Amino acid sequence: MVDGDAPSAAGEIALDRGTADDLDLAVGDEVTLLTLAGPQEATVVATTAAGESDSLDSGGTISIAADSAFEWLNSGQVEYEDILVIGAAEPDAVVDAIEPLVPEGYQVQSGDDFRDDLRQEAGGFGKVLKQALQGFALLALFVGGFVIYNTFNVIVAQRIRELAVLAAIGATPRQIKRSLRFEGLAIGLLGSVLGVVVGLGLSFALMAVLSAFGVSLPGSGLVISPTVVISGVIAGTVITYLSVTIPARRAARTEPIEALRDAAVEQTSVSTERKLVIGALAAVGVLGMVKGNAQGVAISALVAFVAVILAGPLIAVVGSRVFRGALQRLGLEGRLAADNVARNPQRTATTANALLIGVFLVTLVTVAGTSVKDFAVEQINELSSADFTITSDGGSVDPDLVGEIEAIDDVVTVEPFRREAVSLEGQPSALSTGDLDALDEVADLNVADGDAADLGPGKVLLGGFDSEALTAVGEEVAVGDTVTVTSSAGDSIDLEVVGVLEASIDTAQAGSFVDEETFDGFVGDVAPTMAFIDVRSGAQSDVEDEIEAVTDLRPDITLAAGNEVGKLFANIFDFLINAVNGLLLMSVAVAVIGIVNTLSLSIIERRRELGLLRAVGMVDRRVQRMVRLESVLISLLGTLTGVLFGLGSGWALVFAVNRSAETDLSYSLPLLQLVVVLVLGVVLGYLASLIPARRSTRLDVLDAINAT
């Protein structure tokens, strides 16, 4: 309670602090509430809050005095959904005393047990979320390994003369290798510590931003786990140490006389042995993706992915030749950019592969996720024939409401029926009665077994179930069997099954059908509480707003579109796809940093060459343009390869699922998203080139020419 006293008299209410602030209401103000008993005048006597942050009660809470609550919300009947008890003894003793007093089916829990259940539910979700986030972090770390490897590769190449001098004066290959490894270990440790510090700083900054917008985490807020901190430092250090191992070994094996040459020999071709390995892996991977099941496709895709990574230098050489013609139209700088990409294909491949991994996963998730989403939504929508459903919670679908909705243009018919929540063979269900022929016109109540014409006193037409999927006792229910239906008041009736309706969303909502005589004798003469609505084909989206305008004036009425479940599933899939792709962008960001790093180091390595170009007349603007085009081409090769491999893997996965599960999953091609990925790859390549391009012309021409 923030302000005022709890409601105690009729007409008194308490509002949560957030709602009171939004509506500019304070203690003592008069408000009008739309209730099941109609509009009611009420007085705000208090404001409430769930903890310190209003975000914990973002939906808002209205607390009403008991007498008014029963009258406004439950037609004057005194009924409770939950009862909170303050005991004068130990909680377990209070529970033992209460349990014999409550009917079967109700649960009595101590506060500690209730909170433990909530913690377990939240903890289970939190554990899954934590593992998922750790998986994305490991992926970013793996991509970072490519960047670190490429960086050390360039650095070692630039220092090869220095290392050769050390070897010439007596340093052994083992000493050279160890010195580079220790250097990598030190850099990895320092970088990991800085990374953890920056990560913690960003976490605190994010918390501050959320708090500024009135959103805060419940409990103790941000939790810093020593295990997470130590694991982060160890992981970063180890990946850096492993990344420097190959360049260190290569430097140690280089002969001093070879390293002391003025110019290194650049290998611009791919060996025959490597081509054979690539071909063999690609053949095995593609064959497995086409012929295997869903699990086999995953393994085969991994094999094919290794082939693509190994083929990186070949892709760089071929890509340079393919795009050389187009780039040549941009001038000399375009041709030089294409040639530079192929000068050191291994370095180009390693740089592009870091981007390829992220783009491949984004494409695969988008294609596979969209294919599953489209299939699921199509299947769900086929389970619902009614365009709209209205349900009254505590009220009724009266003739006036039906007339208002039928008066809307493009509404064909509104068919109300009576429905009551019951228990069917111990399972929650519903029992309904109405004009079956009219309802069938709107909702297609197809009979899977039996005959609806046999429905009469003491008979039931099971809805929402098939003959193999009912009963708490695990027995099949077939025509001629008897089922027991129990009302919320505890009354029971045995009914003979005369038919089973096909399972659908419509029949799941309506439940099982009986004739009016049976319904009146068991439930009573109650008003209709539900209705199916049929509208003109193609007018659903236009009519929905008009129907909502009518039902919004009735707080007891809930309007649901026939494709509501399908839209819900589509939104869930879209959210998951976007969330996964958003997290995968971490690896793409790391890859972009790798492009910046590699280009910057290559600028230092090629400063003499760049100086000569400027000396013979190439202006700074064209030199910078050459570097930018080189960066864009590297990014385009990585992005294009990732998209193509992602499309192929997505198709293979859909094909394998259809073959193994005998489904009709269609291959969806989200062209807009794929175009966005390609454009994003080019844009990121351009942005990654800005710093290296500026650095390429910063050094004085004479100093650049004299550089060694």
Give the Cα separation of 427 and 484 in Å (integer).
10
Least trusted range by pLDDT, from 112-126, 342-356, 611-625:
112-126
pLDDT at 443 over 60: yes
Residue 67 CA from chain centroid, whole number:
45
What is the per-residue pLDDT for 260?
57
Taking all residues of the chain, what is their mean pLDDT, rounded to a whole number?
A: 83
427 and 337 belong to one structural domain: no
Residues 6+ apart with CB under 8 A from 296: 288, 656
pLDDT at 637 over 90: yes
DSSP, collapsed to helix, strand or coil, labels residue 422 as strand
Give the Cα separation of 66 and 9 in Å (integer).
8
Is the Cβ–Cβ distance between 413 and 431 less than 8 Å? no
Give the Cα separation of 571 and 592 in Å (integer).
31
Query: Is 0.85 surpassed by the pTM of this model?
Result: no
Q: What does the pLDDT look like over 152-199, one tens digit per residue?
A: 877 777 777 787 788 888 888 888 888 888 988 999 999 999 988 998
Residue with tokens 């769930």: 50
Residue with tokens 């859909």: 654
Query: Could you tell me if residue 284 is inside a domain?
Result: no
pLDDT at 386 over 70: yes
DSSP, collapsed to helix, strand or coil, labels residue 534 as strand
250 and 346 belong to one structural domain: no
What is the per-residue pLDDT for 53?
59
pLDDT at 299 over 60: yes
* Domain coverage including residue 572: 315-384+563-708
In the 3-class helix/strand/coil scheme, how is 31-90 assigned residue by residue? EEEEECCEEEEEEEEEEECCCCCHHHHCCCCEEECHHHHHHHHCCCCCCCCCCCCCCCCC
363 and 438 belong to one structural domain: no
360 and 499 belong to one structural domain: no
**Of 52, 81, 110, the domain-final residue:** 81
Is the Cβ–Cβ distance between 394 and 556 less than 8 Å? yes
What is the per-residue pLDDT for 186?
92
What is the per-residue pLDDT for 657?
80
36-58 per-residue burial string, b: 16 or more CB within 10 A, e: under 16: bbeebebebbbbbbeeebbbbbe
Closest CA to 108 of 117, 118, 98, 120: 98
DSSP, collapsed to helix, strand or coil, labels residue 512 as strand
Res. 467 pLDDT band, cuts 50 70 90: very low
475 and 574 belong to one structural domain: no
Task: State the average pLDDT over residues 665-678.
Answer: 87
What is the per-residue pLDDT for 102?
80
The DSSP H or E segment spanning 118 is helix 111-158
7 and 23 belong to one structural domain: yes
581 and 680 belong to one structural domain: yes
Closest CA to 53 of 218, 220, 209, 208: 218
328 and 422 belong to one structural domain: no
Least trusted range by pLDDT, from 121-135, 220-234, 383-397:
121-135
Query: Could you tell me if residue 585 is inside a domain?
Result: yes
701 burial via Cβ count (<10 Å: 0-12, 13-18, 19+):
middle
Closest CA to 249 of 298, 179, 315, 188: 179
Give the Cα separation of 649 and 304 in Å (integer).
9
Task: State the average pLDDT over residues 28-52.
Answer: 83
629 and 684 belong to one structural domain: yes
Query: Could you tell me if residue 107 is inside a domain?
Result: no
**Of 59, 81, 103, the domain-final residue:** 81
Res. 633 pLDDT band, cuts 50 70 90: very high
16 and 161 belong to one structural domain: no
Is the Cβ–Cβ distance between 140 and 586 less than 8 Å? yes
532 and 586 belong to one structural domain: no
230 and 129 belong to one structural domain: yes
pLDDT at 321 over 70: yes
DSSP class of 523? T
DSSP, collapsed to helix, strand or coil, labels residue 394 as coil
Res. 660 pLDDT band, cuts 50 70 90: confident
Give the Cα separation of 409 and 546 in Å (integer).
9
Is the Cβ–Cβ distance between 317 and 275 less than 8 Å? no
Q: What does the pLDDT look like over 103-155, one tens digit per residue?
A: 766 788 888 888 888 777 766 666 777 777 777 788 888 888 878 887 887 77
State the Cα torsion 558-560-566-570 to the nearest 10°: -60
DSSP conformation letters of 648-695: HHHHHHHHHHHHHH---------HHHHHHHHHHHHHHHHHHHHHHHHH
33: CATH? 2.40.40
Task: State the average pLDDT over residues 423-444.
Answer: 85
Query: Could you tell me if residue 109 is inside a domain?
Result: no
**Of 244, 265, 286, the domain-final residue:** 265
Query: Could you tell me if residue 617 is inside a domain?
Result: yes
Output helix, strand, coil percentages for the chain, rounded to the nearest 5: 60, 15, 25
Is the Cβ–Cβ distance between 446 and 502 less than 8 Å? yes
Tell me the two tokens of residue 351: 């740089």
Query: Could you tell me if residue 104 is inside a domain?
Result: no
Top pLDDT among 60 and 387 is at 387
What is the per-residue pLDDT for 432?
92
Residues 6+ apart with CB under 8 A from 47: 1, 2, 3, 4, 14, 15, 16, 17, 20, 26, 27
Task: State the average pLDDT over residues 271-300.
Answer: 82
Q: Number of structural domains, the chain?
A: 4
Query: Could you tell me if residue 306 is inside a domain?
Result: no
Query: Could you tell me if residue 303 is inside a domain?
Result: no
Instruction: State percent of the chain over pLDDT 70.
Output: 91
Res. 258 pLDDT band, cuts 50 70 90: low
